[in-house]
Chains A and B, each alone.
Chain A
Amino acid sequence: MNPSFNLLETLNLVLWLLPLPFLGLALSGRGRSWWPGWVQVGSLTLLVVLEVASQVGPVTGSFSWISDRERLWNFLGGAALQVAIAEGSAWIGWQRDRVLVSRLRRVLAAGFLPMGILAAVFWKGSVHLSWILPWGALLCFEILAVATAPVVWVRALRALSAICLGVSLCSKEAWLPFSALAALLTASQALSKIRHDNGRRVQRARAALQPKAIQELLASTTGPRLAKDEDSLPLDRLDALLTFAMQSTGTSGGAIFLYREELVPEIGTLSRKLLCPLAKGTLKDATNDPGASLAAQVLLSFVPGADQARDIGPDGLTQTYALNALHAPRLAVAPIRSGGKPMGIVVLSPSDERDRFQPGDLHVLDFLAQQAVFSLHYEAVYHRLQEDSRMSREFEIASRIQRSLLPRSMPAVANLSVSARVLPAREVGGDYYDLLPLPDERLVAVIGDVSGKGLPAGMIMLIVRTTLHLLIDADPEANPSKLVQILEERLVPQLDAFTFMTFLALQWSGRDRMLTWSGAGHEHILWRSSQDGVIHRIRTGGLALGLQRENFSPREDRKLPLSPGDLVVLYTDGVTDCRDSTGTAWGLDHLVESVELHHDQPVESLVESILADLDRFRGQEPPTDDRTLVVFQSS
C-alpha cells in the first residue's frame, strides 16, 4: 500500500465523521434542525470531488487504488440517492423559509440526482437487489410525502426511511459506516424538527391568545392584584374559560381557585388560603356542598397531607402537573401566575371513562391558566389600553395644534433677519416663542418657558399666546412692559400653585434699529456687538409670571440700540441645562462659545449649528426639557 492511499482513506473517514458533533447538537435540542443535513451535503460533496479528482486529476497515478470502477459508481450513486432523500424530505421546510442556504442546498441536491441517474446508466457491476430495492422504495416514499402528505405523515415516513436506510445498507460491508451515519442523521433531523415544530405551535397559540401588546402590559403591571370582593371578579369569563377547557379535554369536572390577595400559599396549608368562586363560596364550603365540583373535592382530599402537596413549593405551583405528579389520581393542576407571583390554580378532573390526561390536555390547561390571568387583569388592561390610545391621540392633536401655532415663516422686517427653532422634549412642550410683525417696520418677539413640561405646560403656553395676540391686535402700539404687565394680570389666575412662567418680550424698531425689552425672570439676552466682537450677557430682570399672586409690581422697559451686524440670541434654560450622559449641563459658557464659533453664518444656519453642537454634547442622552433658540441679526 502506498502512503497516499492511507491518507485518502483517513480523509474519507474524517469527512464521514464530521457531521457527528452536529448530530449531538440536534439531538440535544440546541442546534438548528437543518445543521446535520447541511454538513452531510458538505462532506459528501468533498468526497465526490476527491473521488472524481482521483480519476481525472493530474496525479492519477497516486490514486490508483480508486481504479475499482464498481466502487466509484457505488459511491456516486449512493451519495446521490442519500442526499436526494435527505434533501427531498426537507423540501417542505425550504418552501417555508426561503433563505440563501436553503436555495444552495436545493441546487446541491438537484446536482446529485443526475449523478445518481448517470451512475445507474453506466452501472457495470452486479446488481444487489438487497440494497437497490429499499433505496428505491425510500425515494418513492419521500417523493410521495413531499408531494401530498400532511406534516405528520412526512415525519412518519422520514423516521421509517431512516430505519430502512440503516437496515438495507448493512449488507454491503464498505457502506456500513456511511449508512449508519445516514440513518442517524435522518433520524436526528426528524426528531429535532418535531421538537422544534411543537415548540413553535405552542408559541403561536400563546401569541394568538395573548397579543404582544397585552403581554407587555401584563408584564409591566406591578403584580397580581385581585379584587377584594368576589363580586368584582370576572366570574362569567372564568366560568366560560373553564367550560371551554372541560369541553376541549373531555373532562367532567374543573375548578379555578384564586389565592386571596393578602395571603401567600405555603406548603400544606393551601386549603385555608383559597377562594373558590366557581365552587360557590370558599373551599371550606365546597367540601360540604355536594354540588361543588368534583375537582374541588379531590383537591381537598389531598391537601391536608403535606406529603402529597410537596410539589407545590413556597412560591406556589410553578408548573402544570398531570395526575400522578401530585399523587392525586385523576387530576391535572395548572398554576395561574402573573409576573412570577401566584394568583391561583386551575384544576381539571377527567370523566370516569378516561384514565389519563394526554399531553395535549395539559396544553389546554396551560392556556386556560394564562387566559385566566388575562381575564383577571382584563378590566385594568383594557382600560389602560383605551386610556393610552386616547391619550396618545389627544397628545398628537395637541402637538399638532401647538406646532401649527408657531410662526410658519420668519417675518420680513426692515434691517433685521430672524431665525428660530423650538425642540420639545415631549409631544407637547412648555416653551414658547412668537414673532409678530407690526406696522412701521416693527416686530414684537417673545420667548417664554412654563415651569413643568408636557400637556399642562402646553396649555399655559396656549393661554399666553392667545392673550398676547389679542393684546397686540387691540393695541399695536403697546410697548413690551405693558404687554408683560397685562399678560401677568391675565395669566396668573390661571396658574396652579407651583407653576410660573419666565417671559421676555422684545420690540424691534427697524427704522432706528432699537431693541426694547421687558423681562419676567427669563434667561439672559446674548448680544454679540459687531463693534467689539464680544458677546455680552444681559440680565433681563423682572419677576417670573406667577411668583407674585397679587399686588403686581410695575414692569419696566429697557433699551438696546443695535448696529448693523449685531447678533442677538434668545434661549430657554432647556438649552443650557441640557445634560450629557455624565449628568453635566451644557451651560451658558458653551452656548456663548458656540455662538462665537458660528457667528459669521447667516441666522438660519447659525441656529442649526448651535443646536447641532448641543446635540453632539448631549450624545445619546434623551433631552429632559424643551429647547428654544431665537436669533436676530441687525443689518
Chain B
Amino acid sequence: MNHALDLKVLPVAGRADTRILKLAGEFDASAVERALEEVTALLDAGVRHLVVDCEELRYVNSTGLGVILHFSRVARERGGSFLLCKVSEPVYEIIEIIGATTLLELHDTVEEAIQSLS
C-alpha cells in the first residue's frame, strides 16, 4: 500500500507565470516537507498562479489541508492565486467540514481554472 504523495509540475502553454500542479495519492504529514519545498521553490521562481489538479488526490488530512490553505494565502498575498480543480468527494468533505470552502478557489476542470485567470 503506497500512501505517498505524488507531485508533478506541468507548464501551461502561453502562460509563463502559471504552472499546473498534479497531486496524486495521499496528502498527510509525511508529504508536507516535500510539498512545501516544491511549491515554495515555484513561488520563489516567479510563478504566480498555481492550478492544482486534485483528480487523483485520494485523501487529505488536517495537516495537509493546513499546508494547502497556507499556499493559498501566500499565493494571494503575492498577487497570484492557488486554484484547486477536480476535488474528489472525500477531499471536498474535509474542506467543507472545517469550513474552508469559502477560503479556497475550487474549479471543476483545469481548463476552467486557467480561463478564470485571464
Contact = CB atoms under 8 A, between A and B. Distances in A.
Interface of A: 449, 451-453, 497-500, 502, 520-524, 539, 541-544, 546-549, 573, 577, 581-583, 585, 624-625
Given A500-B69, A547-B103, A451 B63 contact: yes
A498 B28 CA distance: 12
B62 A573 contact: yes
Interface stretch (B8-16, B45-53, B93-101, B105-113): B93-101
Q: Give the 6 A-B residue pairs with the shortest CB-CB distance, closest first.
A: A521-B98, A451-B62, A543-B99, A544-B98, A498-B66, A521-B99
B117 interface: no
Given A500-B62, A500-B69, A577-B61, A547 B29 contact: no
Task: Name the prevailing secondary structure of the A interface residues.
Answer: loop
B99 A541 contact: yes
Contacts of B62: 449, 451-452, 500, 502, 573
B70 A497 contact: yes
Contact of A523 (B32, B73, B97): B97
Given A451-B66, A453-B29, A547-B103, A502 B97 contact: yes
B61 A500 contact: no
A452 B29 contact: yes
Q: Which of A541, A547, A573, A624 has the most CB of B within 10 A?
A: A547
B3 interface: yes
25 contacts: A451-B62, A451-B63, A451-B65, A453-B29, A497-B70, A498-B32, A498-B63, A500-B65, A500-B66, A500-B69, A502-B62, A521-B97, A521-B100, A523-B97, A542-B99, A543-B98, A544-B98, A544-B100, A546-B66, A547-B100, A548-B103, A573-B94, A581-B1, A582-B1, A585-B59
A143 B28 CA distance: 71
A547 B3 contact: no
B3 to A, nearest CB: 7
Contacts of B99: 520-521, 541-544, 547
B117 to A, nearest CB: 24
Nearest to A542: B99
Nearest to A450: B62
B42 interface: no
Given A543-B99, A583-B1, 6 more contacts: A451-B63, A452-B62, A500-B66, A520-B99, A547-B99, A573-B62
B61 A625 contact: yes
Contacts of B73: 497, 549
B67 interface: yes
Nearest to A624: B28
A539 to B, nearest CB: 8
A548 B98 CA distance: 12
Contacts of B94: 573
Nearest to A520: B99
Nearest to B58: A583
Contacts of B1: 581-583
Nearest to B95: A521
